[in-house]
Structure 1
Amino acid sequence: MMERTPSGLKYFVTGDGPEAVICHPSLGLGRFLFYRLIPSLSRRYQVFAYDPRGIGENAAMDPNLADWVGDVGELLDIAARPVHLIGVSLGTWVMSRAAVRWPQRVARLVLMGTTPGFENGPQDIESRRTELSQLGMERFARQYAENTLAPSTPSEIRDQLTEDLKTADPNRYLAAMAAIYLVGNREIFPQVLNDTLIVVGSLDQRTSPDMADAAARLIPNSQVRVVPDAGHLALLDQPERIEDLVLEFLATGRLVD
């Protein structure tokens, strides 16, 4: 059942474990990104999933980093229990900041597809603006799915990803992109004191394994897992492997090598 935070963000909650998990998706994507992970999480945890501001059910809300982080804070209040945070790509900007802001209320942190920052942020944004203008959102979404997912990922997953992304408003998409591409994580990551798992696909060309290692060097209590045959959205490419990693880490706080 859909519910609303005090600020009006629509969210969905499932499960009723003694601990909770809040999931924040990647740029331009909604809660669909977690559709394979939520059922397994909800058997152990209370799980909060939502379309971020500017997307899907919350498309009318302006996307910006401060409000994304504030939304997590409101969900922490609603959960009223120990909470783990999972962020993918854009979500790693949000969840790392939430962990720093509310360190006593956040238990463990999972960052999938993260980086200390983008060196060519303004140029990347302008390049994406030109691409969207030339292709339109639907063709861009199809191209994104083809270029982002691993070659072995089933075509129906590509189609679902395309369907989710193509509904994004181009202007809000670019505003969301600017919210992270112009803001680095080098000052934030060292302040993250929670046990942190950094997950990266071996084929990720946006936030590469080298970038994941660079993030881990900044986050004190972190470890990296590289997922074979997975790209930037590893939880779509290798859902079973991601499920195993996440469930083990949330339960123990440390993966055994």
Structure 2
Amino acid sequence: MVGAMTLAYDVAGSGPTVVLLHSTVCDRRMWDPQVQPLVDAGFRMVRADFRGFGETPMPDRPYSDAQDVVDLLDRVGAERVAVVAASGGGRVGQEVAARWPARVTALVLVSTAAGGHEPGAELRAFGEREDALLAAGDVEAATELNLSTWLGPHADEATRARVGRMQRHAFEVQLAGDVDVEPIRTEFDVADITAPALLVSGAHDLPDFGRIAADLAGRLPRARHVTLDWAGHLPSVERPEVFNALLVEFLRRGDA
């Protein structure tokens, strides 16, 4: 089922609801390899494109990604959900779980970003290079920079092409949009999160994300941190069969 509202989204399956929040390198299509395994495991899957990604247009007024997600959950009748969130979507997942803790039964954070994190040298250099390429109008080179930075050694050419299409599309949508619209930043405290958490990081990722995961694993209740020795920043697309087994096992252990 495909729906239309502020966020483009789709729903599949029946059972306890799992909401999938994408990385800002991708859009909701990054979760294609997870949809059927989650449905087969007895879950109802909901995924959406954040504003300026995939099929969701850029905002024309101040907005909150976390509020958008909660509004979507209300629309699809999902009172309590497991949240699976990657990279930049991970920060949104943390905000949802902290501000609406009674609604989140489990939290999976994959290569997650974190509010207030001070970027290390490599991450800072990446951001500066990406900004320079986009300012010069070289979307192709900016896309290639993202692929070389974020995909690990097990990503094949088909995966590189798929991620490249998502990243390039996001750049095109965002560059054509209103750059003056600012997101609404609401302070939240991860100490307010009550859901059991699984933190997943990749050994081939930039070091920032392993540090963030280790820090959160020490601060969240009933948290476990798993480092995948084969993975880059996007393990769910790099080796989905391995990631899916880890994901379903975690979701089945709780009351997700």
Give the alignment's TM-score, normalised by structure 2: 0.84
**Alpha-carbon deviation of 1:171?**
8.1
What does residue 70 of structure 1 align with? Answer: 67
What does residue 36 of structure 1 align with? Answer: 33
For residue 142 of structure 1, the aligned residue among 137, 144, 147 is 144
In structure 2, the CA distance between the partners of 1:248 and 1:170, relative to structure 1 (3 Å rule), is same
* Structure 1 residues 93-108: aligned runs within 5 Å: 93-108=91-106
| Letter matched to residue 13 of structure 2 | G
**SS of equivalent residue, structure 2 residue 160:** helix
| Letter matched to residue 203 of structure 2 | S
What does residue 199 of structure 1 align with? Answer: 200
What does residue 59 of structure 2 align with? Answer: 61
**Alpha-carbon deviation of 1:16?**
1.4
**How many pairs align?**
245
Per-residue CA deviations over 1:64-112 (Å, capped at 9, x if unaligned) read: 7x52101211222223353111110111110111111221121101000
What does residue 3 of structure 1 align with? Answer: 3
Asked if structure 2 preserves the Cα contact closer than 8 Å seen for 1:29 and 1:51, the reply is: no
**SS of equivalent residue, structure 1 residue 203:** coil
For residue 158 of structure 1, the aligned residue among 153, 157, 160 is 160
Aligned residues: percent identity?
Answer: 27
Per-residue CA deviations over 1:187-215 (Å, capped at 9, x if unaligned) read: 62222111011011111116432331112
What does residue 87 of structure 2 align with? Answer: 89
> Following the alignment from structure 1 to structure 2, what is the Cα–Cα distance between the partners of residues 172 and 142?
17
Q: CA RMSD in A?
A: 3.0
- The yes-or-no answer on 1:227 pairing with 2:228 is yes
Asked if structure 2 preserves the Cα contact closer than 8 Å seen for 1:110 and 1:196, the reply is: yes
Per-residue CA deviations over 1:158-182 (Å, capped at 9, x if unaligned) read: 011111111123683797xx969xx
What does residue 247 of structure 2 align with? Answer: 246
Uncovered stretches (5+) of structure 2, i.e. residues with no partner: none
**Alpha-carbon deviation of 1:118?**
2.7
What does residue 11 of structure 2 align with? Answer: 13
Of 77-86 and 149-158, deviating more is 77-86
**SS of equivalent residue, structure 1 residue 166:** helix
What does residue 210 of structure 1 align with? Answer: 211
Of 216-225 and 89-98, deviating more is 216-225
**SS of equivalent residue, structure 2 residue 105:** strand
| Letter matched to residue 50 of structure 1 | A
Asked if structure 1 preserves the Cα contact closer than 8 Å seen for 2:109 and 2:199, the reply is: yes
**Alpha-carbon deviation of 1:246?**
0.8
> Following the alignment from structure 1 to structure 2, what is the Cα–Cα distance between the partners of residues 63 and 223?
38
| Letter matched to residue 155 of structure 1 | E
**SS of equivalent residue, structure 1 residue 36:** helix
**Alpha-carbon deviation of 1:46?**
1.2
**SS of equivalent residue, structure 2 residue 50:** coil
Find runs of 4+ consecutive structure 1 residues off by over 4 angstroms: 123-127
> Following the alignment from structure 2 to structure 1, what is the Cα–Cα distance between the partners of residues 49 and 217?
28
In structure 2, the CA distance between the partners of 1:48 and 1:63, relative to structure 1 (3 Å rule), is farther
> Following the alignment from structure 1 to structure 2, what is the Cα–Cα distance between the partners of residues 16 and 218?
33
Asked if structure 2 preserves the Cα contact closer than 8 Å seen for 1:24 and 1:50, the reply is: yes
| Letter matched to residue 132 of structure 1 | L
In structure 2, the CA distance between the partners of 1:152 and 1:169, relative to structure 1 (3 Å rule), is closer
**SS of equivalent residue, structure 1 residue 57:** coil
| Letter matched to residue 231 of structure 1 | G
Asked if structure 2 preserves the Cα contact closer than 8 Å seen for 1:207 and 1:232, the reply is: no
